[in-house]
Every structure is written in C-alpha cells, then in structure tokens.
Amino acid sequence: MISWRAIAAAILLVTAPALLAGEIPSDARRSGYAFMGPDTRAMQDDDTANPGMLFVLDGEQLWKKKTGSADRACADCHGDARTSMKGVAARYPAFDKDLGRPVTLDQRINLCRDNHQQATPLPYESRDLLALSAFVGHQSRSSPITAGDDPQLKPFVDQGRGLFMQREGQLNLACTNCHDDNFDKRLAGAPITQGQPTGYPLYRLEWQTLGSLERRLRSCMSGVRAQAYDYGSPELVALELYLMSRARGLPMETPAVRP
Amino acid sequence: MIHIAVLISASLACSASADELVPYTIVGDGIAVSLTGSSGDAARGRALVLARTTTCILCHSGPFPETRFQGDLAPDLAGAGNRWSASQLRLRLVDASRFNPDTIMPSYYRNDGLVRVGRNFAGKPILSAAEIEDIVAFLATLRD
C-alpha cells in the first residue's frame, strides 16, 4: 500500500537531491534572529537602536577616505557602494583566481588595501576592518545568500563540511552535534540556533561590540575546549564558506544583533 | 641552560603524571569499584553538577530549584538514582560512548583519541577520579 507519507517522502527525495544526510532543508533554515527574544529583535530592527549601525557609519567614512601610498579610497575604484557592493557580501567567501583559494570579505578588503591602495593590512577584529566589512555587508541586507555556488569552490566547501562534522576538543563535540541535531533545544537555558551566519559582522551583547564570524567560530571551539584555528587560516575560511553555503537562500541581516 | 633543561624535564614529568588515569575494570554495564578506592561525597557532588565548569548542567536539568540555567539536551537527572546503580552511573560518566557511539555526552574520564584538544586541557580528563566519585555519590541520592 502506498501511503501519502511514502509519496511525500518520494517527492522530497526527488526535489532535494543535493541535500546530504543531516543537512537542514532550505525551507527549514532559520536565522539566529528567529531564536532570539523580542527585545533583541527590536534592537536589530531599529537602525537607531542597533549598535552595529555605528560601525556601518564609520565604514562609510572609511570607504570614502583616501589611504595608503597610492592615496586612493575604496570609492575611487568602486564608486557608490549602494550599487557596486549590493549583494557582494552574500557571495563571500569567494574564489580568488590569483590565490587559487577562497577569501573572506575581510581578506578581500585587505587584498584591496595591499594591491590597490598600497596600505598596510587591517588586523582581524580591528575597529576599522569590522567597520568596512559591516558597511560592505550592509549593502547586501535582505539579499539572499548565494556563497559557494561557484563550482571552483566545491573542494573548499567539502573541506568546511568535513570540519563541521569533525568532533574535536576535550568535550569531543562537532558543530553538527548542536547546530544540525539539537537546534531549538537549550544549552544552559539558552536556545541553540542552527548556526546560520546571516548577519556578520554582528553586534553581540555578550561581546559588547561587533565581531566577525571567525571570532564566533573560535569562541565555539574554545567552548568545546579545542585548539581554535587562527584568524584567516584555511580551516576557518573553509568553515565560513561551508556555513554560508549551508545558509543558501536566507536573507543577509548585516549588521545583526545577537545575545 | 641547565636550569631550563631541569625546568623542561620537571614540567614533562608533571604533565606525564597528570596524563595517567586510574585503571578501571568494566563489569557488565558498569564499573563496580570506586576509582579512588573510597566512596565520594554527595554534597560535593551536587556542587560539582551545578558548577558550569563540569558541563553537566549545560545539557541536563534536574531537581535544582536555585538555578535557572539548565539544559534540555539530555535526560533530566531527577530519579537517576532509581534508574541506575552506582556502578552503572560510574561507567556512564567515565565513558558514555560505550553505550552509544553517537552520544553527545562527553567521556569524562578519558584523555586520548581526541582531536585538537586545547592547550590547557591536553592530556587531562574532564573530571578527576575524585570528582567522578563525588558526582556518582550525589546522583545515586537522586531518587523519586
């Protein structure tokens, strides 16, 4: 006897062939926004209350400011970010042909500084780098995430997926143990999210500042008592890439606010 | 030079001794004999379960009205002393993966076969033998 369940299951199999075991189907993907309380949501939704917007405003100034020995501003090449940067952050990390590997938005900003502005790189998590990446990311607000679509990225997405599935640290836990298998449950009273990186760099109330996805990943790694990968390491970039591809279709929220 | 060598060998000796776990014997589905040779202290065990550093309360809830921050990823600890004997509780703390290789419950008395353990934790079990015994003693008192 063919039940409606079997038919539904067959349809699901046919329509979602690319999904790997344990992965969250696209219509079930939920931003961290959906897991937080009304006060934090209101703070994100109101640009005058969202502390991340202060970084966006700083980033706008930096975008126009000439810097480096080339004495050139981002705007001198890219023009008005509202058009030139729209949707760009939703595609990052992106494949860099010269390097033959994916680079994050932070790394892209520093490559631009090095190659086109002849300026020194901005340190990871520095105010200026976060401000620039928040400003560029903000131009993609509401754009659906499409990172990882470039076929050249496939081996790096796979590497990131492998790291996501890998148990590590003294507590011997993988990202997937919480963020695929146990979202909606509570860890010490706080809801576990799906780990969808929709709003980075984001303002974290716990940090009292803006921070990158890499900072968040490193903090999870310390949480399971693992040796965190260095900022900009191929492993963190691959994880970031996998997470963005796993969030495919969700709208960007930069700068998001999270507890 | 000599001082440095002495310091290094001293620290190596130190970490080597920290690495050694008390041997234990699994009988059936438990470890019948105390890891320390004596029974634990239930009051200390309760404090350990509630301390976030032991990680118990992050996933488990229990009859602990004084704390709001309890997890629900794992079974409520209420009645644990009815469900399990001290011997079973001991093995579940020492190495829960024996019962289910996919469990998210860490093996609290293990120091090998782990990946990328943070520097401060490398070579050390999550809990000491004495802490395991205190927690076993406390959990055994949790009867409905």
Tell me how far apart the alpha carbons of residues B70 and B58 are, in angstroms, rounded to a whole number: 6
Closest by Cβ to B114, choosing from A170, A190, A222: A170
Give the tens place of pLDDT for each residue, B85-124.
Answer: 999 999 999 999 999 999 999 999 999 999 999 999 999 9
DSSP string, A105-170: HHHHHHHHIIIII--PPPPTT-HHHHHHHHHHHHTTBTPBP-TT-SGGGHHHHHHHHHHHH--BTT
CA-wise closest residue to A194 among A13, A18, A23, A52: A23
ipTM attached to this prediction: 0.88
CB contact under 8 A, A225 and B118: yes
Entry field: residues in chain A: 259
What would the two tokens of residue B24 be? 């234990």
% of chain B exceeding 70 in pLDDT: 87
Q: Do A188 and B57 touch (CB under 8 A)?
A: yes
Give the confidence band of B144 by pLDDT, cuts at 50, 70, 90: confident
Please check whether residue A84 touches B, CB under 8 A. Answer: no
B104–A181 C-beta distance less than 8 A: yes
Q: How far is B52 from chain A (nearest CA, A)?
A: 9
3-state secondary structure of A220: helix
Run of H or E residues at A40: helix A38-45
Choose the closest CB to B104 out of A177, A186, A227: A177
Query: Contact A188/B70, CB-based, under 8 Å?
Result: yes
Asked if the model's pLDDT at residue B27 lies above 90, the reply is yes
Phi, psi of B58 (to 5 degrees): -65, -40
Pairwise CA distance, residues A181 & B104, whole Å = 10
* Interface contact A189-B126, CB threshold 8 A: no
How confident is the model at residue B20, as a pLDDT? 87
Chain B interface disruption, residue of A170, A187, A219, most B CBs within 10 A:
A170
Task: Please tell me the predicted confidence (pLDDT) of residue B7.
Answer: 42
Whether the CB of A188 is below 8 Å from some CB of chain B: the reply is yes
Please, what is the Cα angle at B28 between B23 and B33, to 5 degrees?
40
Among candidates A123, A134, A125, A112, which has minimal Cα distance to A53?
Answer: A134
Is omega for the bond preceding A93 within 30 degrees of 0, making it cis? yes
Dig out the tokens for A38 from the structure: 């009304």
Handedness of CA A228, A168, A238, A249 (dihedral sign): negative
- Residue B23, preceding peptide bond in cis (omega within 30° of 0): no
pTM value is 0.90
The predicted pLDDT at position B22 comes to 96
DSSP 3-state assignment of A202?
strand
* pLDDT tier at B62, thresholds 50, 70, 90: very high
Task: Give the whole-angstrom CA distance, residue A37 versus residue A170.
Answer: 32
Q: Please give the helix or strand (H or E) that residue A218 lies within, else none.
A: helix A213-223
Q: Closest residue of A to B111, CA-based?
A: A170
Q: Which of A93-107, B6-20, B61-75, B128-142 has the lowest mean pLDDT?
A: B6-20
Give pLDDT tens digits for A21-76. Answer: 668 999 999 999 999 999 999 999 999 999 999 999 999 999 999 999 999 999 99
| Test mutation, B115, B119, B120, chain A, max A CBs within 10 A | B115
Q: Which residues of A touch B98 (CB under 8 A)?
A: none
The two tokens of residue B55 are 């990680």
| Mean per-residue pLDDT pooled into runs of 10, chain A (259 residues) | 51 50 88 98 98 98 98 98 98 98 98 98 98 98 97 98 98 98 96 98 98 98 98 98 98 98
Output the CA angle B70-A187-B49, nearest 5 degrees: 45
The residue to which tokens 């998001």 are assigned? A256
pLDDT of residue B15: 42
pLDDT bracket for residue B11 (50, 70, 90):
very low
Residues of A designated catalytic: 220
